[in-house]
Chain A
Amino acid sequence: MSVSVKDVMVTSDIKQNALYQEEGEWLACHECDAVFIKQAIDVRFDAYCPRCGCHLYASRPDTVRRTLALSLTGLILFFPAVLLPIIGLDVLGMSNSATLIAAVLALFNEGYWWTSFLVLACSIAVPFIEMLSLTLVLIAISLDHYNPWVKSMFKFWHLLKGWGMLEVYLIGVLVSMVKLLDMASVHIGLGLYAFIGMLLMTLLMTLSLDTEEVWEFLEHGIHAPVPYEAVPASVPTAREDDQVITERYALKEEGLNKR
């Protein structure tokens, strides 16, 4: 492995020179690998792959601020949802109620530590870490604060995506209520309302978040992406804007070499 990354970049530049010019505007479907030229779409619209129908990208109005508001609300609702009882039970004069944490502990105390870990991850830990990491990323973006950890945190959020299962849990609550109905009287706890609120916030977050815009923001530090490849490396009379862009390009090269 004597070939460094930079050498590879240079050789491929020569080979794909025509493509290289417009690279920032191209995208490939991540489910069928078809290449398209990225088209601007209206706000609130979604772009789908014409070949396989995969969701490619979306345009969301004011994505950073809206998602931040939703994720902060979700974080506030998280604590009552986890700590307050979600369902209660009355049978023969005895009553009992269960919180999200009690459900995890019940399995753990019976010795099913792996299953209890799974329930803990899917119903409490992943949704919380998802909301927290997204909130921190969006706060950093709205404050124009750049740090390598912002990118790492957004990467982390991408990795966790798909493991939070609040909507499945809600159906689970309904199923257990129906199962208990003939045995005892079941009542809804205050925690369930907070839980439904948190679930709604996470669903609205996925609807209002435009990940592409966040990535472009993290990459360029501006809302409109500037294809840095389009700028020639040596501009005879470099304007101020161009210099900024070439500087960014240089920074990226540096980062690549470090790896």
Chain B
Amino acid sequence: MMDVRSARSLGMASCSLCHKLCRFVDNDEIAQYCPRCGTRLYSRYPNSVVHTWALLITAAICFLPANLYPIMVVSQLGNDTPSTIFGGVVALVHHGAYGIAAVVFIASLAVPFLKLIGLVILLIKIQIGWHLNASQCTSMYRMIEFIGRWSMLDIFVIALLAALVNLGAVARIEAGPAATAFGLTVVLTMLAAMTFDPRLIWDKEVGDE
């Protein structure tokens, strides 16, 4: 076992913004600030678990309309064909664009869903003290934080298509009501990943104190 001590057990806290290690008294009543950048110091983000749960549950609720409502309405010569996110993926597979279909499927269906599941696993691990490998949990968290932004892909595609295919009665592409819900899901899961404090994963691992 590596000889590791946490900053908290040594009476220090690293600044959440500039990562400077500062002296810190573990008392929420006293406001302490980073001497380098002036950000308020916290040993752990306050109420991190509760905030993350709240954002995650909201994101999960938004994920339903995002998948049930049409995200895009294609009208060609007077025919309106609304398509959902999954319908768009299926259409791409029918066109034979398997690579792009895989990218869209991963970015707009798999990633938000796996992000929700992953963060729920991390929260449950922290709350009930579930024995999971802390190193793997941190890797998962890092992955969740990194891939979150890629879900915005579908929103960008719809914005571009709506601007580009605007040829009056011949062809038109418009955004559907699911776009707002999907955008909310992406932003809320990104915020959830940001408010989650990965140091909580390691708190039970440190043998000191």
**Which A81-112 residues have a C-beta within 8 angstroms of B?**
86-87, 89, 91-92, 94, 96-99, 102-107, 110, 112
- The answer to the question of B157 belonging to the interface, with a C-beta cut-off of 8 Å to chain A, is yes
From A34, A104, A169, B5 is in contact (CB under 8 Å) with A34
- The answer to the question of B144 belonging to the interface, with a C-beta cut-off of 8 Å to chain A, is no
- The answer to the question of B8 belonging to the interface, with a C-beta cut-off of 8 Å to chain A, is yes
8 A-B pairs closest in CB distance: A172-B156, A28-B7, A106-B163, A98-B163, A103-B159, A106-B162, A28-B14, A32-B202
* Least Cβ–Cβ distance between B89 and chain A, in angstroms: 11
The CA of A161 and the CA of B92, in the complex, are separated in Å by 33
B11 touches A119 (CB 8 A): no
Given known contacts A28-B14, A30-B19, A34-B202, A97 and B164 CB-to-CB distance under 8 angstroms: yes
Q: Which residues does chain B contribute within 8 Å of A43, judged by CB atoms?
A: none
Given known contacts A9-B23, A16-B23, A174 and B160 CB-to-CB distance under 8 angstroms: no
**Which A229-259 residues have a C-beta within 8 angstroms of B?**
252, 255-256, 259
Q: Which residues does chain B contribute within 8 Å of A19, judged by CB atoms?
A: 10-12
Given known contacts A33-B8, A52-B202, A54-B138, A8 and B30 CB-to-CB distance under 8 angstroms: yes
Contact with B along A46-84 (1 / 0, CB 8 A): 000011111000000000000000000000000000000
- The answer to the question of A42 belonging to the interface, with a C-beta cut-off of 8 Å to chain B, is no
From B141, B150, B163, B187, A103 is in contact (CB under 8 Å) with B163
Number of interface residues of A (CB under 8 A): 83
The CA of A231 and the CA of B180, in the complex, are separated in Å by 57
**Which B96-143 residues have a C-beta within 8 angstroms of A?**
97, 100, 103-104, 107, 134-135, 138-139, 141-142
A35 touches B179 (CB 8 A): no
- The answer to the question of A23 belonging to the interface, with a C-beta cut-off of 8 Å to chain B, is yes
Binding site for B on A (CB under 8 A): 1, 3, 5, 8-9, 11-13, 15-16, 19-20, 23, 26-35, 50-54, 86-87, 89, 91-92, 94, 96-99, 102-107, 110, 112, 114-116, 118-119, 122-123, 151, 154-155, 158-159, 162, 165, 168-169, 171-176, 178-180, 182-184, 211-212, 215, 218-219, 252, 255-256, 259
Given known contacts A91-B170, A94-B170, A33 and B14 CB-to-CB distance under 8 angstroms: yes
From B160, B187, B201, A176 is in contact (CB under 8 Å) with B160
From A35, A99, A114, A252, B10 is in contact (CB under 8 Å) with A35
From A1, A154, A212, B19 is in contact (CB under 8 Å) with A212
A118 touches B155 (CB 8 A): yes
Binding site for A on B (CB under 8 A): 2, 4-8, 10-14, 16-25, 29-33, 35-39, 92, 95, 97, 100, 103-104, 107, 134-135, 138-139, 141-142, 149-150, 152-153, 155-167, 170-171, 174-175, 179-180, 183-184, 187, 190, 194, 198-199, 201-203, 206
Main secondary structure of the interface of A (DSSP, over half): helix
Chain B: which residue is nearest A218 at the CB level?
B36
A122 touches B165 (CB 8 A): no
Q: Which residues does chain A contribute within 8 Å of B37, judged by CB atoms?
A: 151, 154-155, 215
